[in-house]
Amino acid sequence: MSCSKLLFLIFIHLFLCKPIFAEKILSLSEVPKSFLSFAKKDEVFDWMVGIRRKIHENPELGYEEFETSKLVRQELDKMGIPYKYPFAITGVVGYIGTGEPPFVAIRADMDALPLQEMVEWDHKSKNHGKMHACGHDAHVAMLLGAAKILQQHSHLLKGTVVLVFQPAEEGGGGAKKMIEDGALENVEAIFGIHSSTFLPPGEVSTRSGPLLAGSGFFEAVISGRGGHAAIPQHSIDPILAASNVIVSLQHLVSREADPLDSQVLTVGKFQGGDAFNVIPDFVTIGGTFRAFSSESLLHLKQRIKQVILGQAAVLRCNATVNFEAENKIFFPPTVNNNDLHKLFKTVAGEMLGAAGVKEMQPLMGSEDFSFYQEIIPGYFFFVGMKDETLEQPTFHHSPHFTINEGGLAVGAALHASLVVRYISDGRTVIDHRLHDEL
């Protein structure tokens, strides 16, 4: 056989056999399960667990996440993922893909809570009075996990994924500051994730439309005239006035709100007096109010002020009301875009099966992810991380809060799968302002 004929046969053989040796081309419906398998690999999963535990040991409060931010940047550097820093003091924004439209974002919050951890384990918080009691350490680990998945499968991206690592979700409105600093430049849709201690790993829950309530805070100082408790006629009692105020505030929801328009008003702060036999000069009260529509939230705000001023005056006291509590801002309702809901159900169903995708009822908790949804279509969901070794699941914001780290793989893979599908569909979602509110 001649040399030229042999070379020709080798060329034909290699050409025909190329698909056998090339990387398997995934269909879109195969991506979610493939990504989940990748995230469950020991080297990937153990890496995510290690990141989560490192962050858990070193919790930082809002706008103080300097070490957490540094860790994020170090991991992005290792993966060769470009990023911009800082946004909103400690925020980081990374980029994977072509650098061209469409741009779609996935977000994690990084801050901890001012709580002393009561869980005894090897990775307990080392920072006294600070704890990751809401799962934000897991959120960061899952977003970095999604980044690793996407970087390893960048050939699937015909657009750009924006990785948003955000500070100060816990009342500080870090999302709002990220937007003001330009973190959403060119982004047309965004996905966010939250851990759930009531769902086992392998399950997710969410809904279209209103998911979490908008929230506001208030603080009021009710001033009277102090004096001896034995001769109250010479005083003006602010404690009595504050008590009347609190009782009257409870009527705003029970007597004035539409029963089908869910609202909450809770007074959680009452401070006044230092001695059992002295009527103080003033009392300070404070609380939170929540609703699923901006209209209801604003109405509650107006009525809270009217009730406090009016009821204080009835008992001869003066009052001032402040809705700009320290480090607290108003959060809009978290409302999921319906087109993104359809996409989520498809992708999550392909990954976990229909039984693993739960429809949930709206919750009165709030999330500053809602600020992103005011600007662009957004979608927020919960991933199961129930610690099944406990008789009862632990609540978020509890010093006994724990999670099942087995859910990290699902969260990372679902994040990555959603943006791949969004980009591949090349769809333009409906105007986010058309969403419904309860």
Q: Where are the domains of the chain?
A: 28-212+333-434, 216-322
Residue 288, token pair as written in the block: 């939170």
| pLDDT for the residue 334 | 97
| pLDDT for the residue 120 | 95
Q: Give the Cα separation of 213 and 332 in Å (integer).
A: 7
Q: Name residues whose C-beta falls within 8 Å of residue 322's C-beta, 6 or more positions apart in sequence.
A: 218, 219, 220
| pLDDT for the residue 25 | 72
| Residue 136 is assigned to a ligand binding site | yes
| pLDDT for the residue 294 | 87
Under 8 Å between Cβ of 226 and 280: yes
Signed CA dihedral, 141, 146, 147, 148: sign only: positive
State the CB neighbour count (10 A cutoff) for residue 256.
Answer: 11
Q: Give the Cα separation of 78 and 279 in Å (integer).
A: 63
Helix (H, G, I), strand (E, B) or coil at 419: helix
| pLDDT for the residue 434 | 43
Q: Give the Cα separation of 252 and 267 in Å (integer).
A: 13
| Residue 123 is assigned to a ligand binding site | no
Residue 95, token pair as written in the block: 């980029």
| Residue 396 is assigned to a ligand binding site | no
Q: Give the Cα separation of 191 and 369 in Å (integer).
A: 9
| pLDDT for the residue 133 | 98
Closest CA to 408 of 19, 4, 39: 39
Signed CA dihedral, 391, 397, 398, 401: sign only: positive
In the chain the first and final C-alpha atoms are separated, in Å, by 80
| pLDDT for the residue 22 | 40
Under 8 Å between Cβ of 57 and 123: yes
Closest CA to 175 of 375, 382, 432, 436: 375
| pLDDT for the residue 17 | 44
Q: What is the pLDDT of residues 46-91, one digit of tens each?
A: 999 999 999 999 999 999 999 999 999 999 999 999 999 999 999 9
Q: Which residues of the chain have pLDDT under 70?
A: 1-24, 325-328, 426-438
Closest CA to 381 of 330, 424, 333, 341: 341
Helix (H, G, I), strand (E, B) or coil at 400: coil
| Residue 251 is assigned to a ligand binding site | no
| Residue 397 is assigned to a ligand binding site | yes
Would you identify the CATH topology of the domain 216-322? Alpha-Beta Plaits (3.30.70)
Tell me the CATH number of domain 28-212+333-434, given options 1.10.10.2840, 3.40.718.10, 3.40.190.170, 3.40.630.10.
3.40.630.10
